[in-house]
Amino acid sequence: MSRMQLEPAYVLHSRSFRETSLIVEAFTREHGRVAVVARGAKSPRSRWKNVLQPFRPLVISWSQKSDLGTLAAADQVASPPVLQGQALYCGLYMNELLMRLLHRGDPHAEVFERYRQALSELAAEAPPQPLLRVFEKHLLDATGYAMLLDREYGSGAEIQPRSWYEYQPDRGPVLSVGPGEGRVSGAALLALHAENMQAEYLPELRRLMRAVIGYHLGSKPLASLALFSG
């Protein structure tokens, strides 16, 4: 049995386990996504009753001898970001992306820090669409689905700002004859590549990322997409 101590973490999701406990899916900085049983967490007198909530910065300790660990301690270490309205929906969307794209026990410290920063920016009322597109891009990079954004698939030719492309999720951009359904401008691809996105490209990039992420997730859609138009 291994024991992990005082690991920075956020709760992504929790569900009931037996009468008084929870299974908590947490995103940790050094161990990635982990699932732990929080025994007695549903009890009115539980020390974790108001702690194991999404978006709260925590440090947790747990023991692990199988895919499902046992929570030993959980403490909030800072005030949680105040997410309301669309910012809250964006946070829930990021949580679902992490649940669906990250494998348990696969650490991604950079994604953890980007997630922390994204929550802070959402709480500060930063425009959500540029923030989400950059978060999606880095999450795909980290999970082995990096997008080709500056060169054409196959030919290797540089992306041209004034050209249009059909983006194949499992390959990359292929030169097209012009704008149309499912196509994206070279200028938008280069903006995402540089992470310097003007407002005019955001509708294209939203459609692009929905298609790419949907391809990698398969037939089960993201439930959080029904909540907002980010």
- In the chain, domain spans: 2-76, 86-226
The bridge status of strand 68-76 relative to strand 32-38 is parallel
Helices and strands (H, E) in the chain, number of each type: 5, 8
Q: What is the pLDDT of residue 106?
A: 93
Domain 86-226, CATH = 1.20.1440.120
163's tokens: 């050209």
From CA 87, how far away is CA 126, in angstroms rounded? 9
Q: What is the pLDDT of residue 36?
A: 97
pLDDT of 25 higher than 90? yes
174's tokens: 């292929």
The bridge status of strand 164-168 relative to strand 172-175 is antiparallel
Q: The pTM is what?
A: 0.93
Q: Grade residue 223 by pLDDT with cuts at 50, 70 and 90.
A: confident
Among residues 150, 181, 186, 151, the alpha carbon closest in space to that of 165 is found at 186
What is the CA angle 138-59-25, rounded to 5?
60
CATH class of the structural domain 2-76? mainly beta
User: DSSP of 176-188, one letter per residue?
Assistant: -SS--TTEEEHHH
54-113 confidence digits (pLDDT tens): 999 999 999 998 889 999 999 999 999 999 999 999 999 999 999 999 999 999 999 999
The rounded percent of the chain whose pLDDT value lies above 90 is 83
pLDDT of 169 higher than 90? yes
Kindly report the backbone phi and psi dihedral angles of residue 100, in degrees, each rounded to the nearest multiple of 5, phi listed first: -85, -30
From CA 92, how far away is CA 142, in angstroms rounded? 20
